[in-house]
Amino acid sequence: MGLFINTNVASLNAQRNLLRSSNDLGRSFERLSSCLRINSARDDAAGLAITTRFTSQVRGLNQAVRNTN
């Protein structure tokens, strides 16, 4: 008794393309909903590092202002 494995290559390609499109759509919605240019390191790793550093400096300066008042 033989074992037959059937694959539908067109269906597998369609499924892969649908998954890719779905992921791209999710990433687009994330960008639209956050109103930020950089949401993760995937968007711009260097830009995210710079933004994170600036954000920390601003928070530190704001705390220093609150401490002096």
- pLDDT tens column, 26-53: 988 988 888 877 777 777 888 888 989 9
Q: What is the average pLDDT value for the chain, to the nearest integer?
A: 88
Q: What is this structure's pTM?
A: 0.53
Sign of CA dihedral 48, 53, 54, 59: positive
For a pLDDT cut of 90, what percent of the chain falls above it? 46
How confident is residue 1, by pLDDT bands cut at 50, 70 and 90?
A: low
What is the signed CA dihedral for 23, 26, 54, 60, rounded to 10 degrees?
A: -120
What is the distance, to the nearest Å, from the Cα of residue 48 to the centroid of all Cα atoms in its chain?
A: 12
Q: What is the mean pLDDT of residues 57-67?
A: 95
